């Protein structure tokens, strides 16, 4: 392993290439040079796999206040209303800009206006979509614009190791770059920037079953926490109620939009059950539906429940959901004539790195946007399709704020130093710990929790993190090791947040404290060194 001696200079360093990172990059490029670092191919992000769409008030039959009210209701008392109003009010313009400026193609109705869908928790049709592959279309349009911009450089197959902070040089709290591993050559590069933007997405891979791609390992949360940034509300991890259940299918999401078009959740015997749990039935908020399915599976002993679309017109289903129809057919399931077997799976982190409404963290010149951030938009549970909206709005707002960032930098920047680290010799340590973390996080820190389960998880994660630290300092870094290190810390932070919330609210449900407690109507904030937090 080699390290570059001369730092790479740029105005803005963006870690992540989903909707939030690309939205920032395109705007920031108007007033500076941008480097976008992405772990795999630039397309590989949570955005690419978003099916449902973008929630925004795009119809005269809808109102801003209704979108705000729905978001606040689903957020269960923890949303920051200023962030909610900003996202809901600025979203419609940015959705239209996707079309007019970046050529993103949304489905249209007969009148030429947006064909809007309704999803769980929404009181109106307000989800703009591109069939059932909205994220892929949004990513395509933004990435094409980024690749065509002469002031933006994409470093694919590169992974940030850690942030460069002024504290380590005896200066004020602030960030001025990152050490970045080139996974093709194993060279560690030092990238120095006027502002650093975390847009690394979520952490679904901390759980055994997830709808997220393999890149979602909590990297931004872990790096920010190690650097001294505040993180919050990580106990609120959203489990999508409907992931395709098939032994050969790898975590394929069955969009909430199917229920929005009339899909009904049923038991194996064909009985509908959501009316027992919520007046909105199959269109209840995601936390309610996920817990209801979990409860039914425990009661019946079945492996899955079923999403029934067979009462709807078959040609409409193929036209509206071509990708889902094709994927189900791969496994012998024709949703026109057969109910789809589904189970919940980890989907979205409503907590993250604490920011204000301009994307600023408590570390100067460090921003966080998209799923990695905790703006307060989602509260204790995210309203469906508010995620792409969040990336668009706060990516744009951060870019506007960062143009005024004043560079921080020590007189000399130390290159990466590997010391006496040797080549990895026991990769089984990485795979064993990876598998164990994901399994006990699913069993102990999943949809339903208890104090005893959380304590078991805490004890185990501390032992594993000790093993990882020893391995990290003794062997040269690899992408797999960096992901495991980040995954373990993020899991530890989720556990600690969950242990501190002695109530059930939104996505955090514990059998030992099953009611909402008004004393806990506050964010769960952690910062390294502030107390008995994960080190």
3-state helix, strand, coil in the chain (%, to 5): 40, 20, 45
270 within a domain of the structure (yes/no): yes
340 within a domain of the structure (yes/no): yes
Domain of 508 in residue numbering reads as 428-526
Q: What is the pTM of this model?
A: 0.95
Q: Give the whole-angstrom CA distance, residue 260 versus residue 269.
A: 23
Which CATH number fits the domain that encloses residue 475?
1.20.58.100
3-state SS class at 181: strand
272 within a domain of the structure (yes/no): yes
DSSP-derived secondary structure letter, 452? H
> What contacts 462, CB < 8 A, 6 or more positions away?
492
The number of beta carbons lying within 10 Å of the beta carbon of residue 454 is 22
Domain count, the chain: 2
Sign of the CA dihedral with 240 first, then 242, 247, and 250 last: negative
Q: Give the whole-angstrom CA distance, residue 306 versus residue 174.
A: 50
Which CATH number fits the domain that encloses residue 247?
3.90.700.10
Residue 286 annotated to the active site: yes
Boundary-marking domain end, from 322, 344, 366: 344
444 within a domain of the structure (yes/no): yes
Boundary-marking domain end, from 292, 311, 344: 344
468 within a domain of the structure (yes/no): yes
Structural contact between residues 142 and 16, judged by C-beta atoms closer than 8 angstroms: no
| pLDDT single digits (tens) 16-56 | 999 999 999 999 999 999 999 999 999 999 999 999 999 99
490 within a domain of the structure (yes/no): yes
Q: Angle at the Cα of 376 (from 373 to 380), degrees rounded to 5?
A: 100
Boundary-marking domain end, from 344, 374, 391: 344
* Spatial CA neighbour of 295 closest among 360, 344, 331, 260: 344
**Is the pLDDT at 135 greater than 90, yes or no?**
yes
Q: Give the whole-angstrom CA distance, residue 57 versus residue 88.
A: 7
60 within a domain of the structure (yes/no): no
304 within a domain of the structure (yes/no): yes
Task: Encode 53-81 in three state secondary structure.
Answer: CEECCCCCCCCHHHHHHHHHHHCCCCCCH
| pLDDT single digits (tens) 478-535 | 999 999 999 999 999 999 999 999 999 999 999 999 999 999 999 999 999 888 789 8
Of all residues in the chain, the percent with pLDDT exceeding 70 is: 100
Beta bridge partners of 232: 352, 525
- Catalytic residue, from 286, 291, 320, 465: name it: 286
């Amino acid at each position: 392993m080699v390290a570059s001696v001369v730092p790479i200079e740029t105005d803005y360093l963006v870690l992540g290439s989903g909707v939030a990172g690309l939205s920032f990059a395109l705007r920031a490029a108007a007033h500076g040079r941008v480097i976008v670092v992405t772990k795999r191919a630039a397309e590989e992000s949570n955005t690419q796999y978003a099916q449902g769409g973008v929630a925004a008030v795009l119809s005269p039959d809808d109102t801003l206040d209704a979108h705000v009210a729905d978001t606040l209701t689903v957020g269960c008392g923890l949303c920051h209303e200023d962030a909610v109003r900003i996202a809901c009010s600025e979203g419609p313009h940015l959705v239209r800009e996707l079309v007019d400026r970046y050529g993103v193609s949304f489905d249209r109705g007969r009148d030429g206006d947006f064909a809007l869908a309704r999803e769980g928790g929404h009181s109106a049709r307000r989800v703009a979509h591109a069939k059932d592959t909205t994220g892929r279309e949004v990513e395509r349009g933004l990435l094409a614009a980024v690749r065509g911009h002469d002031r933006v450089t994409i470093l694919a197959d590169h992974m940030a190791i850690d942030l460069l902070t002024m504290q380590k040089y005896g200066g004020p709290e602030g960030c001025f770059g990152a050490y970045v591993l080139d996974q093709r050559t194993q060279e560690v590069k030092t990238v120095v920037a006027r502002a650093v933007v975390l847009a690394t997405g979520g952490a679904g891979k901390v759980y055994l079953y997830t709808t997220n791609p393999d890149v979602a390992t909590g990297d931004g949360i872990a790096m920010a926490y190690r650097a001294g940034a505040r993180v919050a509300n990580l106990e609120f991890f959203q489990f999508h109620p409907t992931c395709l259940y098939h032994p050969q299918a790898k975590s394929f999401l069955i969009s909430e939009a199917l229920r929005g078009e009339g899909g009904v959740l049923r038991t194996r015997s064909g009985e509908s059950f959501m009316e027992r749990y919520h007046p909105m039935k199959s269109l209840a908020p995601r936390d309610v539906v996920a817990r209801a399915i979990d409860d039914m599976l425990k009661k019946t002993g079945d492996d899955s429940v079923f999403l029934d679309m067979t009462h709807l017109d078959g040609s409409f289903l193929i036209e509206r959901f071509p990708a889902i129809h094709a994927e189900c057919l791969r496994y012998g399931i024709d949703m026109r004539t057969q109910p789809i077997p589904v189970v919940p799976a980890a989907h979205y982190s409503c907590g993250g790195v604490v920011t204000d409404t301009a994307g600023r963290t408590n570390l100067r010149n460090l921003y966080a946007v998209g799923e990695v951030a905790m703006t307060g938009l989602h509260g204790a549970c995210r309203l469906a399709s508010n995620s792409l909206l969040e990336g668009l709005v706060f990516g744009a707002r951060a870019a506007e704020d960062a143009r005024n960032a004043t560079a921080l930098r020590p007189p000399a920047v130390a290159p990466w130093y590997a010391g006496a680290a040797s080549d990895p010799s026991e990769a089984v340590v990485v795979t064993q710990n990876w598998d164990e973390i994901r399994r006990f996080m699913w069993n102990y820190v999943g949809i339903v929790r208890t104090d005893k389960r959380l304590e078991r998880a805490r004890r185990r994660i501390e032992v594993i993190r000790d093993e990882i630290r020893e391995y990290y300092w003794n062997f040269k870094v690899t992408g797999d090791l960096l992901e495991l290190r980040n995954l373990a810390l993020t899991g530890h932070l989720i556990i600690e947040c969950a242990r501190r919330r002695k109530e059930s609210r939104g996505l955090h449900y514990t059998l030992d404290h099953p009611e909402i407690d008004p004393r806990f109507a506050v964010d769960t904030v952690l910062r390294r060194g502030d107390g008995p937090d994960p080190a």
